[in-house]
Chain A
Amino acid sequence: VTARPQAPEPAGVSVEELGRRLAERRYFAEPGLLTAIHLALVLGRPLALEGEPGVGKTEVGKALAGVLGRELIRLQCYEGLDAGQALYEWDYPKQLLHARVAEAEGRAVGPLYSEPFLLERPLLRVLRAGAGAVLLIDEIDRADSEFEAFLLEFLSDFQITIPELGTVRAVQPPVVVLTSNRTRELHDALKRRCLYHWIPFPDAERERRILRARAPGLDEAAAAALVESINRIRGLSLVKRPGIAETIDWAQGAAILAGEGARWPEALQRSLGLLLKDQEDFERVAGRPELFPDR
């Protein structure tokens, strides 16, 4: 029986402190998300984040790695992802070449299943990262559901057994962030092992702060007008409601056009392609000037 790895971070980082440090990295989290991150650190549990695309799920992992001063290791999931691509593989061509060269030179071949022939994949790299790491398992809903079952063992013990080498255990347990767009439902068994948080669209105030930080050159009034506009657009029933990522792109685009002398509502309309990536949505929004208030 292995004991659950203890909390990686001293419980010293309070929720408020965490919020400040994330804000320094230009990530403005709501209290629920801050509490979730805080508890993930204190309890040493993986954190499962769901939310609409573009609300900043992946950014949490990146910002957190910055705050903790740890390496970020990212496992992007996709359909057909298997253990070999997630854990480790043996470099067979290299092994064969090595054997042939040794043979030709009349040397002993030596152990073939050893360190030089091991290809580290993200999960193994996480365990071996000396000072601990932040593991970002991104878009797990894209992987097959069998892959979740495989993750269960890794996430509860933070160890991997390589038959030829033995068991690799985490030097320091990693901080794990899982994200999902909820295109399919995750297994309960996986969610049970994680802390869970749904990231909502930000309120107007938070979105203004995000825009001011991420789209330099945008003045206060313009940011307010843009947020007003985005909230009206999100209220329509669109195929794809724009997330924060698209909003930032849009703000940057509009700011550039405005800098070149375009009038503000017009700049918004002309850069709309950065916000809406669907022809039908585009048509629904483009012909309605009341959606674009002046600053």
Chain B
Amino acid sequence: VTRRAQEHLHAFMRALAESGVAAGFAKHADFLRSLAQSPPDDLTGLYWRARVTLVTDPEAFPTFDAIFDAFFGTGRLVVREPGSEPASVEGETAAPHAGDEGELEPLEPRAGTGLHASPLDLRGTRRFPRASDATREQLRELEAALAEALPRVVARRLRRGRRGRRLDVGRVLRAANRSGGEIVALAWLRRPSRPRRVLLLIDVSGSQRQYTADLLRFAHAVRRADARAEAFTFGTRLTRISAVLATPDVDRALDGLSATLEDVDGGTRIGASLAALLANGRFVALARGALIIVLSDGLERGEVATMVAAVRRLGRLGNHVLWWSPLAREPRYQPVTRGMCAVLPDIDELAGAGDLESLLTLVRRLPQTTARPRGAAARMWGRDPQPIR
């Protein structure tokens, strides 16, 4: 390989890395080794060698194709064949990468943005009312129901148990020592279960105003039922509230939240907020294998593509994605807004919940909900309400 060609290849890989497609030294090394050990005969060969070694995500194929074209000419024309693209669901565009979302910047107000100089406080803070005795009673009921209903998974470490699948040989032999070498009883190891992680994504924007307090109280109850549960709120920005929710008393937790949250009762940017969640590797780890519950009316302003892409990714990361919307409590409700229509195939339930009572009903139904096969929401609501475009 000539020096010029080498430089060209490296520039190609740099361009890919910059557009977020292929990263990592190991992948680059694989690509170069594949060229050295199995030199391609033509452009098609080069294309496949590059794609197989460098790209690990079918959604990145279009970006990759464009960059490959730019660097190696009309390679794609040689290669492209009908059906060689990953099948995308009819009528939907390929999901953009969360990391490229240019709109994310204004989500973090900094000193000097002019926001603080405004005579009106644009940041919405709100004090929540005390929980009445009746509310507290409902919360207790909710906690008990949650402890019953939250799905459980088998833990990976073995614990000793009265019975189990595996013999605890060490314990059997130690017990046998005490009884003069005679085995009197067998000891077993079992795999205990632990609650599946719950990830709550709570919409605190203006359109949810009347439900915000109850939704946050619900989050507090979930956190009490399962200490590993995680909760985020979003309006115009994403806020992780799990730590604040750990406060034992519900009123003090909500006081803490009103001090933390800066976007209560403001606008909605569901897509950008969820994309911010997915752009953070630590947060993605929280979503992996979790029961994800989105508490939102799904009224996204503007372009819905970001939201749809984010929900689709959440669907792949999580074990189940449930969407509980206050609007869906209405018997005549139909998911006809463009946003809800488009996310319907990627969620597992779309149900109505706003106040504590409706939340309790849905929580009691959780075991049945999570036992259904994935993608049940689309079947339940009819798959084909055509989006209004």
**Which residues of chain A have a CB within 8 Å of any CB of chain B?**
7, 11, 15, 30-32, 35-36, 38-39, 42-43, 45, 48, 50-52, 79-80, 82, 84, 90, 92-93, 95-96, 144-146, 182-185, 188, 191-198, 200-204, 235, 237, 239, 241, 280
B228 at the interface (CB under 8 A from A): no
Q: How far is the CA of A198 from the CA of B49 in the complex (A)?
A: 13
Q: Across the interface, which residues of B come within 8 angstroms of A202, CB to CB?
A: 83
Given A45-B30, A144-B153, A280-B383, A35–B85 Cβ distance below 8 Å? no
Within 8 A of A (CB), among B355-383: 374-375, 378-379, 383
Residue of A whose beta carbon sits closest to that of B37: A42
Give the distance to chain B from A235, nearest Cβ to Cβ, in Å: 8
Q: Across the interface, which residues of B come within 8 angstroms of A188, CB to CB?
A: 56
Mask for B164-183, Cβ within 8 A of A = 1, else 0?
00110100100000000001
Q: Are A237 and B169 in contact (CB under 8 A)?
A: no
B24 at the interface (CB under 8 A from A): yes
Q: Are B87 and A237 in contact (CB under 8 A)?
A: no
B97 at the interface (CB under 8 A from A): no
**Which residues of chain B have a CB within 8 Å of any CB of chain A?**
24, 26-27, 30, 33-34, 37-38, 44-45, 48-49, 51-53, 55-58, 61, 79, 81-87, 89-91, 153-154, 156, 166-167, 169, 172, 183, 191, 288-289, 313, 316-319, 374-375, 378-379, 383-384
Give the distance to chain B from A203, nearest Cβ to Cβ, in Å: 5
Q: Are B34 and A42 in contact (CB under 8 A)?
A: yes
Q: Are A237 and B154 in contact (CB under 8 A)?
A: no
Q: Are B48 and A32 in contact (CB under 8 A)?
A: yes
Q: Are A52 and B87 in contact (CB under 8 A)?
A: yes
Q: Across the interface, which residues of A come within 8 angstroms of B288, CB to CB?
A: 145, 184-185
Q: How far is the CA of A200 from the CA of B81 in the complex (A)?
A: 10
Q: Across the interface, which residues of A come within 8 angstroms of B56, CB to CB?
A: 48, 188, 191-192, 194, 196
Q: Across the interface, which residues of B come within 8 angstroms of A82, CB to CB?
A: 156, 191
Q: How far is the CA of A197 from the CA of B316 in the complex (A)?
A: 18
Q: Are A193 and B26 in contact (CB under 8 A)?
A: yes
Give the distance to chain B from A35, nearest Cβ to Cβ, in Å: 4
Across the interface, A184 reaches (CB within 8 A) one of B55, B79, B316, namely B316
Give the distance to chain A from B205, nearest Cβ to Cβ, in Å: 28
Q: Across the interface, which residues of A come within 8 angstroms of B191, CB to CB?
A: 80, 82
Across the interface, A36 reaches (CB within 8 A) one of B52, B90, B383, namely B52
Q: How far is the CA of A188 from the CA of B166 in the complex (A)?
A: 33
Given A146-B156, A185-B313, A241–B51 Cβ distance below 8 Å? no
Q: Across the interface, which residues of B come within 8 angstroms of A92, CB to CB?
A: 166-167, 169
Across the interface, A192 reaches (CB within 8 A) one of B26, B82, B154, namely B26
Q: Across the interface, which residues of A come within 8 angstroms of B154, CB to CB?
A: 80
Q: Across the interface, which residues of A come within 8 angstroms of B375, CB to CB?
A: 239
Across the interface, A144 reaches (CB within 8 A) one of B30, B289, B384, namely B289
Q: How far is the CA of A90 from the CA of B168 in the complex (A)?
A: 11
Q: Are A145 and B53 in contact (CB under 8 A)?
A: no
Q: Across the interface, which residues of B come within 8 angstroms of A203, CB to CB?
A: 81-84
Q: How far is the CA of A30 from the CA of B79 in the complex (A)?
A: 11
Across the interface, B24 reaches (CB within 8 A) one of A48, A192, A198, A280, namely A192
Interface pairs (17), CB distance under 8 Å: A11-B38, A30-B84, A31-B44, A35-B49, A35-B52, A39-B34, A80-B153, A95-B169, A145-B289, A184-B289, A184-B319, A185-B317, A198-B86, A200-B87, A201-B87, A204-B82, A237-B383
Given A43-B37, A92-B166, A237-B89, A35–B45 Cβ distance below 8 Å? yes
Q: How far is the CA of A30 from the CA of B80 in the complex (A)?
A: 11
Q: Are A31 and B48 in contact (CB under 8 A)?
A: yes
Q: How far is the CA of A185 from the CA of B26 in the complex (A)?
A: 20
A32-B52, A42-B37, A239-B379 known, 8 other contacts, Cβ within 8 Å:
A11-B37, A43-B34, A95-B169, A96-B167, A96-B172, A184-B319, A192-B56, A239-B375
Q: Across the interface, which residues of B come within 8 angstroms of A50, CB to CB?
A: 58
Q: Across the interface, which residues of A come within 8 angstroms of B48, CB to CB?
A: 31-32, 35-36
Q: Across the interface, which residues of B come within 8 angstroms of A193, CB to CB?
A: 26
Q: Across the interface, which residues of B come within 8 angstroms of A201, CB to CB?
A: 83, 87
Q: Across the interface, which residues of A come within 8 angstroms of B384, CB to CB?
A: 237
Q: Across the interface, which residues of A come within 8 angstroms of B378, CB to CB?
A: 239
A-B pairs with lowest CB-CB distance, top 9: A35-B48, A191-B56, A92-B167, A198-B58, A36-B52, A196-B56, A185-B316, A203-B82, A237-B90
Q: Are A197 and B313 in contact (CB under 8 A)?
A: no
Q: Are B383 and A239 in contact (CB under 8 A)?
A: yes
Q: How far is the CA of A134 from the CA of B56 in the complex (A)?
A: 22
